[in-house]
Amino acid sequence: NAGVTQTPKFQVLKTGQSMTLQCAQDMNHNSMYWYRQDPGMGLRLIYYSASEGTTDKGEVPNGYNVSRLNKREFSLRLESAAPSQTSVYFCASSEPRFRDGYGYTFGSGTRLTVV
């Protein structure tokens, strides 16, 4: 099925460990995003990539890095995990069109726990 695929679905890390969250979309969308969702706070944008080869910080980028590997893939890396990064992470993609608005597609999420 067409859509956004995130791996892994669940992960437990120890404080200080590193890991990379993977995201891939097969809809040929130009823009990709990483959000985190915390209880009572909705979704907050971590990083985004408006097009292949570009990345920009969102609302809460500290402690994260991203790589837009190609048009399909956008990864999120935690270099030294902290308990404050315990969250559910969502990847999304969209095709920005001024006239039609945005067709946003979200992945199913990665539940990360840092102990």
Contact set with other proteins (CB under 8 A): 4, 31, 33, 35, 40-45, 48, 50, 56, 58, 90, 92, 94, 96, 98, 101-109
Whether residue 90 contacts residue 3, with contact meaning beta carbons closer than 8 Å, is answered with no
Q: Of the two residues 56 and 79, which places its CB atom closer to other proteins in the complex?
A: 56
Query: How far apart are CB 16 and other proteins at their closest, in Å?
Result: 28
Tell me how far apart the alpha carbons of residues 94 and 83 are, in angstroms, rounded to a whole number: 30
Query: How far apart are CB 76 and other proteins at their closest, in Å?
Result: 15
Query: How far apart are CB 27 and other proteins at their closest, in Å?
Result: 13
Nearest residue to 41 via CA among 86, 99, 91? 86
Q: Of the two residues 72 and 111, which places its CB atom closer to other proteins in the complex?
A: 111
Whether residue 79 contacts residue 20, with contact meaning beta carbons closer than 8 Å, is answered with no
- Start-to-end CA span in the chain (Å): 34
